[in-house]
Amino acid sequence: MSQLTSFLLVLSLCAFAPLCFSSKTKGGNLYPQFYDHSCPKAQEIVRSVLAKAVAKEARMAASILRLHFHDCFVQGCDASLLLDSSGSIVSEKGSVPNKNSARGFDVLDEIKSALEKECPRTVSCADLLAIAARESTVLRGGPSWEVLLGRRDSRTASLSGSNNNIPAPNNTFPTILTKFKRQGLNIVDLVALSGSHTIGNARCTSFRQRLYNQSGNGQPDYTLDQSYAAQLKTRCPKSGGDQNLFFLDYVSPTKFDNNYYKNILASKGLLNSDQVLLTKNEGSRELVKLYAENSQLFFEQFPKSIVKMGNISPLTGSRGEIRTNCRKINS
C-alpha cells in the first residue's frame, strides 16, 4: 500500500475522532499557563532534576513515561498510582501491571521536593508527572509538546482499576482496543502511544509465552521472527529468569524514534501487544507501516495522542488536593 493510500486510511479512521489531527485539545480547566504566576519555574525544575536522573540511567525516561500512562488509565490522570498503601488506601503499585516493574518513584519524590521548596503546596503530583513524561520523551530525542496543566491529586487509589484497565502484554488486539476506547482513545492513539516502546525494557515474564506456549498448545508464536526468538530464549528460559530485562526496541533501545514500528514489520516486536498491531487489524497494520516509513508523522501524532491521554478525567477546581508528598494524601 502506498504512503498516500495509508495516509487516506488514517484520515478515514479519524473521521469520527476529531482530535486525531487536531492541534488543539479541549483541556477543560487545563491550560499550559496554569503555573505561570504561582510557580513560573515549575517546568524548569522538573526538567533539571529529571535530566540528571536520565543522565545517570537512560532507562529512567521510559520508566517515567510508563508511570504517566499507568496513572491516566486508572481513575484518570490524578497521581493515584503514586500513593503508597496507608490507612484505607491500597496502593496501585501492587497491581499485576505495576508489581516489580513500575519504577521511578524516587525521582518523582526528588522533583516534588524541589517544587515544594520553590512553591509550597502549588504544583500537583499529577501535573508533575505529565510534565516529566514530556521531558522524558524529549531527553531521549523524541518530540516535544505543550503540556496542559491544572490537574489536582486524588485522595484515593484503585487496585482493581489498575488490574482491569491497563492493557496487558498478552491481551488480544480487541481487548487492548476496548481498553483504550473506554478511556476515550481510538485506534490511532493506540498505535501512536504504543510507539513509546521505542525506549525502555520488558521482563522475560512479559513475553515468555510467545517463546514457548503462545496458545496453550506448547507451540511458540510463529509471528515472532524465529532467529530473534532463539536469541531471546538464551536469557528467557521456560522457567526462571522472570525479572531478566530485554530492550523493547533492540535496534535503538535508548533513542525515541520510529524503529519500534520497523521492528514490528520485521516480526521483531517484543511483546505480543506490539506484534498484534501488525497481525490482527488492518487499520493498525497500516498505521504501523505509515509510522515505520515516516518518522515525522509519528512525531506529529504522538504528542496529540499523549495530550489527549493526559486529559482523561482530571480533577480540577476544588476536587482532589495538591499533595505535599506524592506518596500520601495530606492529613
Instruction: Please give the positions annotated as active site.
Output: 70
C-alpha cell at 46: 522538573
Amino acid at 5: T
Q: Are 27 and 145 in contact (CB under 8 A)?
A: no
Q: Are 65 and 59 in contact (CB under 8 A)?
A: no
C-alpha cell at 143: 518530540
SS3 assignment, position 301: helix
**What DSSP string runs through 230-250?**
HHHHTTS-SSS-TT-EEESSS
CA distance 26 to 19: 9
| HEC per residue, 66-88 | HHHHHHHCCCCCCCHHHCCCECC
What residues contact residue 172 under an 8 Å CB cut-off, 6+ apart?
276, 280
CA distance 235 to 50: 31
Structure-derived torsion over alpha carbons of residues 16, 21, 24, 29, reported in degrees to the nearest 10: 50
Nearest to 66 by CA among 138, 133, 126: 133
**Block residue for cell numbers 524548569:** 44
Beta-strand relationship, 201-203 and 245-247 = antiparallel
Amino acid at 293: E
